Amino acid sequence: MSLDDPAFTPVRAKLDRDGRLIAADQALLDLNARAGGALGHVLAVPPLVTLARLALRLAIRVSRNVVVADGGADLDLWVGAEPTPSSAEPDGIDLTITGWRPRPSWQPPAVAEACSADFLRSAADWLWETDSALSLTFLSANAAATGDLPSGALLGQPLTRLFALAEDDVGAFPILHGLALQRRFDDQPATVRDTGQAVLLSASPRRDASGGFIGFLGAAHIVDPAIPVRPVDPAAIAGDAIMDSVANAFAARLDQTLRAPLDRIIANADSIHAQSEGPLRQDYAEYAADIASAGRHLMGLVDDLVDLQAIERPDFVVAQDAIDLADVARRAAGLLNIRASSARVRIDKPAFGEMLPATGEFRRALQVLVNLIANAVRYSPIDGMVWIRAEREGNIAAIIVADQGKGIASTDQERIFGKFARVDQNEAGGSGLGLYIARRLARAMGGEVTVDSAPGQGARFVFSLPLRGMERLS
């Protein structure tokens, strides 16, 4: 590959305001010609035209990765589109393309998966199929011989009604990994519940016309009775437990998959809103602020879902450390100062030097208080006040968060701590998980979160933890 290859050397072009190609380096001229275009005519590569029009409309430089078709293959390009400098309105767009790399054209996954499924099932002792919720939709006729029930009686039942699943040699359940990633799995140990026959399960994903996951095409291979299958507790292989495990895997994948792109969306939107690349029309700057706000809302939902999966695990534990609950409250208020300022709400926090020794986990106590104070700020009127007070009573240390919002009816005061609970579904707010998570965390630390409120009189949330002696606080 030579140094003037477009993979190394930037490829440049110039378009007029109407998208016509005025000048271009040879690599782009050739690509445009293969797409049916020519100099003096509208650029025939749609993704490049779309990016150019966006840059012209926003009057700023726009850069992003695009994929364009080139005959039987695709090209992976990084394209920068910048309005041509002008004393008046830009008279065109300058394109700069770097990282010009060919890549194989996309092929529907169903083709490879169908071949994989055919090969897998050809050597099976008998066959099964499920929907996306792991309910049986098909069993081959010879499957009836493995149990006391006719195969038809099991249709619609969970897969775990037919099989008792077991861990593999490394302590994992291959089926859970396959379901979480919606791809093929192999050698899932199991036994047929009604006969105790040992089997190994394998399956390939089923896809709908749009490529969406709709279940598994599975095979069962009978294992020699002399080969043991590791037994597991029936509770661990019940349908609900399987779905809990899948939910945990899904939450982890959700966190990994969404956090990085959301971070980029928020950062880029904030950059556009701040007009760091140059002046921008005010309405577009406001659109960017809305995008950043929506991104932060989605990031909060991801955080809540990950926390939800963590706190509902049976092995969830918190540390029992010596903490200063007044200091935690000051830190939580500090984290929300900018949000409160933007909402024109003041936060009155415990004075520096005030201490409230307690037992709990610093990070989780901070999470509870950030949630309570954020809610107080969200529901406070403009120029309102949020009060944070540290109190002790007997062997209890408590932080009180009070606001001047519209208050909560007595009939709703317990309901707001439910999972996904919202008093007014049409009102702007969070995911409905914040208070549920806060109370679960408080109780895990041996404390509690309660509310005292009345309509029109604001709300008073109390976060309590076990009091710790001052001499043991470090």
DSSP class of 206: E
The pLDDT assigned to 148 comes to 43
434 φ, ψ (degrees, to nearest 5): -55, -50
d(CA 20, CA 92): 9
DSSP class of 197: -
Element (H or E) spanning 307, and its range?
Answer: helix 282-311
pLDDT band at 14 (very low <50, low <70, confident <90, very high): very high
What's the alpha-carbon Rg for the chain, to the nearest Å?
30
Q: Which residues contact 470 (CB under 8 A, 6 or more apart)?
A: 355, 357
Cα 435 off chain centre by: 20
d(CA 226, CA 224): 5
Predicted confidence (pLDDT) per residue in 399-458, tens digit: 999 999 888 888 888 888 887 666 655 555 556 778 888 898 999 999 999 998 888 888
Q: Which residues contact 48 (CB under 8 A, 6 or more apart)?
A: 66, 68, 79, 81, 95
109-230 falls under which CATH superfamily?
PAS domain (3.30.450.20)
Q: To 10 degrees, what angle do helices 174-181 and 239-273 make?
A: 40
DSSP class of 103: E
Predicted confidence (pLDDT) per residue in 56-80, tens digit: 888 788 888 788 888 767 888 888 8
- Residues of the chain above pLDDT 90, percent: 20
* Identity of the amino acid at 169: D
Give CA separation, 370 vs 73, 254, 356, 385, 455, in Å: 51, 23, 17, 16, 23
Closest CA to 41 of 25, 24, 56: 24
Least confident stretch, 8-17, 156-165, 256-265, 359-368 = 256-265
The pLDDT assigned to 90 comes to 66
d(CA 207, CA 210): 8
Average pLDDT, the chain: 78
For the chain, the helix, strand and coil percentages under 3-state DSSP, each to the nearest 5: 40, 30, 35
Question: Hey, which residues does 122 pair with through a beta bridge?
Answer: none
Give CA separation, 356 vs 33, 363, 437, in Å: 74, 16, 23
338 φ, ψ (degrees, to nearest 5): -65, -45
Q: Which residues contact 446 (CB under 8 A, 6 or more apart)?
A: 320, 359, 360, 465, 466
**Cβ-based burial of 288 (10 A; exposed 0-12, middle 13-18, buried ≥19):** buried
Predicted confidence (pLDDT) per residue in 365-403, tens digit: 998 999 899 989 988 999 999 999 999 988 999 999 999
Structure tokens that stand for 465 in this block:
């933890």
d(CA 161, CA 157): 6
Mean pLDDT of 214-236: 63
pLDDT band at 226 (very low <50, low <70, confident <90, very high): very low
Segments making up each domain of the chain, as ranges: 11-103, 109-230, 246-311, 321-472
Query: Is the per-residue pLDDT at 110 higher than 60?
Result: no
At residue 54, the 3 state secondary structure works out as helix
The pLDDT assigned to 21 comes to 93
d(CA 235, CA 258): 32
Q: Are residues 164 and 234 in contact, defined by beta-carbon separation less than 8 angstroms?
A: yes
Question: Hey, which residues does 390 pair with through a beta bridge?
Answer: 399
The pLDDT assigned to 442 comes to 92
- Of residues 59 and 301, the one with the higher pLDDT is 59
Pairing relationship of beta strands 357-360 and 345-348 according to DSSP bridges: unpaired
* Identity of the amino acid at 203: A
Is the pTM value of this prediction over 0.75?
Answer: no
336-344 contacts at long range (C-beta below 8 A, 24 or more positions apart) = 336/370, 336/373, 336/374, 336/377, 339/374, 339/377, 340/377, 340/386, 343/377, 343/378, 343/380, 343/382, 344/382, 344/383, 344/384
Mean pLDDT of 143-172: 70
At residue 106, the 3 state secondary structure works out as coil
Closest CA to 79 of 107, 40, 104, 43: 43
Top CATH class, 321-472: alpha beta
Structure tokens that stand for 168 in this block:
């593999």
Query: Is the per-residue pLDDT at 247 higher than 80?
Result: no
Q: Is the dihedral of CA 119, 122, 126, 131 positive or negative?
A: positive
- Residues of the chain above pLDDT 70, percent: 74
Asked if the domains 11-103 and 321-472 are classified in one and the same CATH topology, the answer is: no
CATH placement of domain 11-103: 3.30.450.20
Helices marked H in 35-129 — which ranges?
46-58, 109-122
Strand boundaries in 84-184, DSSP class E? 92-103, 126-131, 136-139, 163-165
